[in-house]
Structure formats: C-alpha cells, structure tokens
Structure 1
Amino acid sequence: MTVTTADDPATTADDRAAVARRVSVARCYRFELVKLVSQWRIRLLVLACWIAPALFVAAVSQQSSLPVDTLFGRLMHATGWAGPLVTLGFAGSWALPLLTSVVAGDVFASEDRLGTWRHLLVAVRSPRAIFAAKALASLTVILLLVAGLACSSAVGGVLTVGNQPLVGLDGHLLTSADAAGKVLLAWACVLAPTLALAAIGLLGSVMLGRSPMGLLLPALVALAMQLAQMLPLPVAGRLALPGYAFIAWNGLFTSPAQVGPLLIGVVVALVWAVTATALACLLFVRRDFTNPSYDGSGSRAVAVGVLPLVGLVAAAVAVVAATTSATGSGIEQDKVQRSVATAFAHLYRMQTEQLHRPHVTEAQLRATAACTKGGVQDGAQGPGNDWRCVVSWHLPDVEATGTAIYQLDVTPDGRFVADGDGPKEVNGYFLVRTPTGDAPNPLWQFDGNVELLANTPKG
C-alpha cells in the first residue's frame, strides 16, 4: 500500500490536472442548451412558434370577419404583411411574456427541485460559469422562439394573401419591400422588452428558488405593465416602463417614422435587461449551495433584487422627463387634428384612384381637421372615445369645400380608430362602387397614431 504526502509530486500533479479540467463556459453552455431543448415542453413551444402563426394568419385571412379591433387587423385581406403585425401585437401582450416565463423563469428553479446543484458544481467548479451558461442557453431558446413567430406569420401571410403594399398608420402606402423591412424591424425592436422579461425571469428563478412565483414573475410583470399602459399616465411614466417597446413599434409605420418613443422604449428595456441579469448573477454566486433544503434567498435577497428595479423606474421617469418635451398625457388637440388630417389626405388619394377620378395631391387637397373632445372646443386633450373631428378639404377647380365627420376613440398610448360618420359617398359606408365592382372604402374606418413626444407648434 502506497501512502502519498502533501509534497508528493503525484498529488500535486493531480491537483493541477483538476484545476485544468475546469469546464469552460462554452462546454457548459452546450450542456445547458441540450438540457433545455431535450424538455418536451420546450420542443412543443419551438414547434408551435414555427407552425401555429402561419396557420393562424392563413385561417384568419380567409375569414369574412377580421379582427378589426387589433392594429392592422382590418388589412389582413389586403396584404400579407398585415398578418405578422397582428401576430406581433398578440405576442407582445401575451405570447412573449409566457414564453419567457417558461424558458427563463424555470432555468435555475428546476435545479432546486431536482437537487442537482452539488453535482453541477462538482462538474463545472464555477458558479459564474454556470450562471453564464444558463443565461446564454435561455437567450438562445428565446431568440429561436421569437424568430419562429416572426418568420412563420410572415410566410403564412404572404403565401395566403400575397406580397401587396401596406397602408401605414398615417394613410401613406408602403411598397412591398418597404413593408417587409418595417415588419422585420418591428420584430427586432420587441427583442429588447423580451430580453427585459427574460432577465426578470432569471432573477425570479434565482431569488425564489422552488417557489412557482419565480416561474410566473415575467408574466405577472408584463400584465402589470399592460394595465399601467391602459391608465392615463404622464408620458414620462409611460415611456419609462420596460414594456413600452411592445407597442412603440407602431411609430415605424408613419411617415416620417415616430422613432423617438421607440428608441426610448428600447433603451429602457435594455437597461432593465442588463440590471436584472446583473442582480440575478450577484444573488446566484452568493447563495448557499451546501444547504439541500434551500428554498429561495429570503427577504434580504428579495429586497436586493426588487429595490434596485423600483429605483430604476424612478430614475427612468426622471431622465425621460428631463430630456424630452413630454408633458401630461401627450395627447393634445393640435396633434390629433394633424394626425387625422394627414391620414385622411393619404386615404382620400387612395379612394380617388379606386374611383378612377382625376389625380390629386395632398398639397392640392389642403386637408385640415377640427377636433373636439366631449364638447371642449379649445385645448382638448387626453384619451377617450368622445373625440369628434370634422375634416375639410379642397379639390382643384372646385369652389365648394368638402367635409366629412369622424368619431374617434383615442387610447392612452396615442393609437386611435377613426370611424366615418358621413357623408355616405365619402366615409359613411364600408364599400365604394368602383368601375370594376365594390371595393373596401379606405375612408370608412382607419387606424392612426398620435406621437406623444411631438412638439405642438405655437400659433
């Protein structure tokens, strides 16, 4: 029997070999990725995200009734590029928060339930490497799911309806190529709030251990943000929420694009993603892996994880308020009037082409809108369904001024639906009689967007 001492060269060599055999982050990442995609629920999610949107868009596009209460839903018969935007609206509200909950919200808690932390630490020897590998594996799967939603819905829409131009939120017509680029950019922009929710999922999974609340945390945060967006918040408070980019992509479909709120929303979401991930890493490397009954990091860890995020919201509100012209709700009478008049002028030209009437430009029309809210003639502001607008325009060589009435429902985030209220031959009926038969009337109902950060010109 051979006895070795601390000075034995064989023992020293073994120690060096053990240190050298520390598993790299790349190998650990591959291992964690295989663990994730081997789960049946993850495989089902990947399959559903790459197939279900195409089937949904194809089925809805063939129906006689469309989801007109959804942005771009009324255009699903007209162009295949409306389908991925309808899917994006649904995904931002429900699908992406739930996907991040399932993937990121359980990636650490599953090890607690199975009691495998000691085995993993013996194999990898570095808590930081384990955290990086799990975070990167979760990110990879989430990106795969988002890519599936975007590609599947776009393919389903284009194959079912066709590669036609898309009418923007101010009535201007985007070419097929331009529409494709804007759709791709819109899906890319929502990656930022998706990463923020994924980081919150990582934090909840580390912070709450076996508790199912860690799994539900991203979905609950997303629901809270949705409810907050429905409230009449000040503009600075609205833009400071990490989920604002889920709706701010609407501004890409105006001319010029309303990129200010979108850029703020993306930056805020990325700051949230970095902060929440850093907090999760800090808590993870400091946790006690020797206690098999560990069930969350306790109230101290919850305070460490939650209080910085609360402070981040306050700081974001202060920064947005100080660096922008945002005041009040951002929905003001002059902004509404400009948005309605601009959209009407673009859509009137479209109706003119349908009816084969003489060509007319927006400059020749000189369209204007006079809007009131709840009977308030001057200084009307704020969201509501009691907006009423009278649009006036002029035609070349015609002395009479044309007028049309619209009832508006303006949401707190600036989106509005204009419902035509006559005259019938202009906007009072959903069809127009063209030389080739009846066609949808572009002036009957249309969606629009009021830029919350736009400066109101002073008279």
Structure 2
Amino acid sequence: MTATLAARRPAPARPVSVPRAYRFELVKLVAQWRIRLLVLACWIVPALFVAGVSAQSTLPSDTLFGRWMHATGWAGPLVVLGFAGTWALPLLTSLVAGDVFAAEDRLGTWRHLLVAVRSARRIFVAKTLASLTVILLLVAGLAVSGAVGGLLTVGDQPLVGLDGHLLAPSDAALKTLLAWVAVLAPTLALAGIGLLGSVTLGRSPMGLLLPAVVALAMQLAQMLPLPLVVRLALPGYAFIAWNGLFTSPGQVGPLLIGVAVSLAWALTATALAYALFLRRDFTDLGYDGSGRRAVTAGLLPLVGLLAVSAAVIAPVTGGSGSGIEQEKVQRSLATAFAHLYRMQTRQLHRPAVTEARLRATAACDKGSDRIAARGPGNDWRCVVSWHLPGVEATGTAVYQLDVASDGRFVADGDGPKEVNGYFLVRTPEGDAPNPLWQFDGNVELLPTSKG
C-alpha cells in the first residue's frame, strides 16, 4: 500500500527554463502598443529626418557633422547618433528597462508569475534579457534607418573627419558602425540603472524616469568645468567620446576608457538590482518601493564606483585639469586647416599642394596675455600661418574658436575673406560653402607622445 501511494505521488514541479521564460517576457514586451510604436519609430523616423534635412538649404551646423549632410550620406547617421546619445537613448532605456519590473507591481501579477516560473532568479534573468533585446533592436533601428536615409538621399561620398582629412566611403562606414557600437556601452549602463530603479522603487514614477534623470545629470556634469578624470569616470562620457574615431590617427583613449567605465556601471547596477530583487518579499501586495533601500543599496554603491573609477583613471592616463591646453588647440587647428586647405585647392582648381609643403602652424590665445590659454570657452582667438611653394609671403588667416569641455571646437573664419570668408564653391555634389569658412575639430584631451 505504501509503495502504491509513493508511486502515485506527483513529481515535484520544476522551474521553467530560462529560454522559455525569456520568450515569454519578450512576447509580453513586444505585445505592448508602446513598445511596438517605439520600434516602428526607431526604424522609420531617422530616415525621414535625415532625408528631410538633407533636402533643405539650411543645415544643422551646430550639430557635429551636420554641416556635411549635403556632401555625404554618412553624415546623417552621425547626426542621429549625436541626438540619440543626448535624448533618445536615455528615454528609450527608461521606457523599457525602467518599467520591466514596475509593470508587475502596477498590475499585481507577481504571484501569478512566480507560480508559473517558480524561480525568482530565472524571472530576473528572463526580464533582463528581454529588455536588453528590445533596447538593442531600438538602437539598431536608429543606426540603420539614419544610414539608409542618408545614403538614399545624398549618396555614398567621402566624409570629412574632425581633423579635416577625407575618409573614403568604406572607412566612413566602418567608423560610423564603430561609433554606434561604442554607444551601446553607456546605453547598457543606463539600462542597468533602469533595472535598479524598477526593482527598488516599484510602481513609483521615479523608477521609470531614473535613467533619463541620470543621463540628464551626466550631461550637465559634462558641461561643467570639472576635471577631466571626473568626466571620464562618468558612464555618459562614451556618448560623446566617439568623436575621436574620426581623426587620423584616432583619438581612441577617451573612448576606450568611457566604454570600460560604462560596462562597469552596467554590471554593478544590474548586480545590485539582482541582489535586491532576490531579497524582496513578494507576499506584500502593497509594496510600493523603498526609497531608503534605493539610497543605501543603490545610490551609494554607484557613487563609490564613481570615486574608484576616478582614482584609477587619474594615474593611468596622466591627465590633469580640463585637458584643453594651448599647444593641443594650436596643433589640432593647424592640422584641420591644412587638410581643408587642400580640399579648397581642389575645389577651386588650383595647383595641388601637400600638408608637408604648407607647413601650417597656429598661434592661439584667449584674448589677453593675462588669461591662461587653457580650458574650454568661446574666447579662443587663433592666427593660422602657412607657406605656399614658390611664394615668399606667408599666408595668414584669423579664426575665432568655441572649444567645448569634451574637446570639440568650432572654428569660425574671421578673415581674410578670400581665404576663410563665406563664399560658395562648386563641387561634384553641387555648390557648397567654403570649407575653410567654418569647420569642426577635436582636441586630444589625454597626454600624447606629441605633446
């Protein structure tokens, strides 16, 4: 009799496998009209935006690579990338990762989910993987859509880099792809922060908004006159450090540091969310988050990670201050001017000349000898000098520079008009402004062997 009862006793239920739970969570996310609308917008809107702007006479010249949207289709996805890193990606991570756990609190479905899956650990893994899958799909849509819109509207022409040199279409495509891949790291960091906020704050709206709020705070920090090592220790720095890919040689040091810091933040925030999720009491139906736990177990470890990152970066990079110094600005401006002078020479059908024979140099200050020529600001004034073969006189041109804290600068020609004034030149793609009139450049912030 005992043997018969033992034989009829049902086997203990096993937890649902992670792949099945992942598919279930992914279907739940994609079934939401909000997520479907976001996917549709990310795969269509950038192409329409790039095509519309490229067809206009006025370009977003205040945006990086915006002034080249008439010249090449590869400028479009980079303009989209600049906008996405500032606004789109933080909002997308908020709407996906910031709500993936809080949605169960609002609907009161934790008990049903636990009964179905029978493992809190597998629920966390499945929800995390599902949210990351959707985020990657959205990022891929932004990149592909922007590139398709630019290439169909303008074409596959060379791209002018941030030091004035021309990138062949294949090089431009590769570096554009690398730039989009690089911003995945800070996007994952914001996603980890979103998971942490969704777990600790429950149905509170702050959990949903946390990635966007953190991203906004990091953007404000990048605008402040903070030391370079502090800004490098913030995960959001990788959203702007991709600029260094478009110089020759590439200024990849800040980008690699930004990617490493972002991945560290992503792993730390996700691990904290996992630990807090496993400690949660799911029998409390009125759970509405814990602000105290969010501070002690969420905020303080991330602040500690920021301090440790800054302490490690400082001796490794050897950087100090803002990283923007007189010699670096002069070298970057002279290099960009020499490359663009050659471009102007070709467009005006003048005799070709090499950068080595031009021997372009720059002398920069901040308007007075009493003011140290270092740090960001719009008060940089530079005089570029160059030599033409067979001409004894030295050519000079004046520029006003607006140097941002991330090293990007905009050079505005201030005479002579025949060199860097505004006039149109005829190119294979149509009439375009004088390339020496206004152009973008990038200062190497970290110490280099050259200086």
Specify the TM-score bucket, using the shorter chain as the normaliser.
over 0.9
One-letter code aligned to 2:238: A
1:66-145 superposed matches below 5 A: 66-145=59-138
CA displacement 1:197-244 (0-9 Å, x = unmatched): 001000000000010100000000000000000001111001000010
* TM-score w.r.t. length of structure 2: 0.97
Q: Does 1:274 align with 2:270?
A: no
Deviation, 1:322, is: 1.5
- Work out the CA distance in 2 between the residues paired with 1:111 and 1:430: 61
Match of 2:381 among 377, 388, 392: 388
> Could you report, residue by residue, the CA deviation over 1:286-318 in whole angstroms, capped at 9, with x for unpaired residues?
100011111113513431111110000000110
Partner of 1:315: 308
- Checking the alignment, whether the CA contact within 8 Å between 1:415 and 1:447 is kept in structure 2 is yes
Shift of 1:376: 3.0
Residue 43 of structure 2: aligned partner: 50
Q: In the alignment, what sits opposite 2:433?
A: 440
Contact 1:388 1:407 in 2 (8 A): yes
Q: Which residue of the partner structure matches residue 346 of structure 1?
A: 339
Q: Which moved more, 1:209-218 or 1:379-388?
A: 379-388
Q: Secondary structure at the match of 1:104?
A: helix
Q: How does 1:237-386 map to 2 (within 5 A)?
A: 237-376=230-369, 379-386=372-379
Alignment partner of 1:424 out of 417, 424, 432: 417
Q: Structure 2 CA distance, aligned partners of 1:444 and 1:75?
A: 13
> Counterpart of 2:262 in structure 1: which amino acid?
A
CA shift for structure 1 position 358? 1.0
What displacement does 1:8 show?
3.0
**Paired residue type of 1:15:** A
Q: Aligned residue for 1:37?
A: 30
Instruction: Report if the CA contact (8 A) 2:197-2:294 is conserved.
Output: no
CA gap 1:436/1:170 in 2 versus in 1, 3 angstroms: closer
Which ranges of structure 2 fall in alignment gaps of 5 or more residues? none
Q: Which amino acid aligns with 2:189?
A: A
Structure 1 position 339, deviation (Å) = 0.2
CA distance in 1, matches of 2:429, 2:182: 40
CA separation of 1:378 and 1:363: change in aligned 2, threshold 3 A: farther
- The AA in structure 2 aligned to 1:28 is A
Counterpart of 1:161, as a letter, is V
Deviations 1:141-188 (A, max 9, x none): 000000000000000000000100000000000001110111011000
SS at the partner of 2:98?
coil
The answer to whether residue 155 in structure 2 is matched with residue 162 in structure 1 is yes
Is 2:11 the partner of 1:15? Answer: yes
Match of residue 414 from structure 1: 407
Unpaired stretches in structure 1, ≥5 consecutive residues: none
Normalised TM-score (structure 1): 0.95
- Aligned letter for 1:303? T
Q: Which whole-Å deviations, capped at 9, do the CAs of 1:53-112 have from their partners, x for residues lacking one?
A: 000000000111110100000000010000000000000000000000000000000000
Q: Is the 8 A contact 2:71 2:429 kept in 1?
A: no
Matched, 1:197 2:190: yes
* Identical pairs, percent: 80
In 1, the alpha carbon distance for the partners of 2:61 and 2:157 equals 19
Q: CA deviation at 1:359?
A: 1.1
Q: 1:434 to 1:141 in 2, by over 3 A?
A: closer
Aligned residues between the structures: 451
CA RMSD of the aligned region, Å?
1.8
Query: In 1, are the aligned partners of 2:317 and 2:447 still within 8 Å (CA)?
Result: no
1:452, 1:347 → 2: CA distance?
Answer: 22
Give the deviation of 1:440 after TM superposition.
Answer: 2.1
Assess if the C-alpha contact under 8 Å between 2:120 and 2:278 holds in 1. Answer: yes
Instruction: State the one-letter code of the partner of 1:340.
Output: L
> Is the CA contact 1:79–1:162 (under 8 Å) kept in the aligned structure 2?
yes
Q: Equivalents in 2 of 1:314, 1:453: separation in Å?
A: 19
SS in 2 for 1:244: helix
Measured in 1, the distance between the counterparts of 2:230 and 2:32 equals 39
Cα separation, partners in 2 of 1:171 and 1:123, compared to 1, 3 Å: same
For the residues of structure 2 that align with 1:161 and 1:435, how far apart are their CA atoms? 12
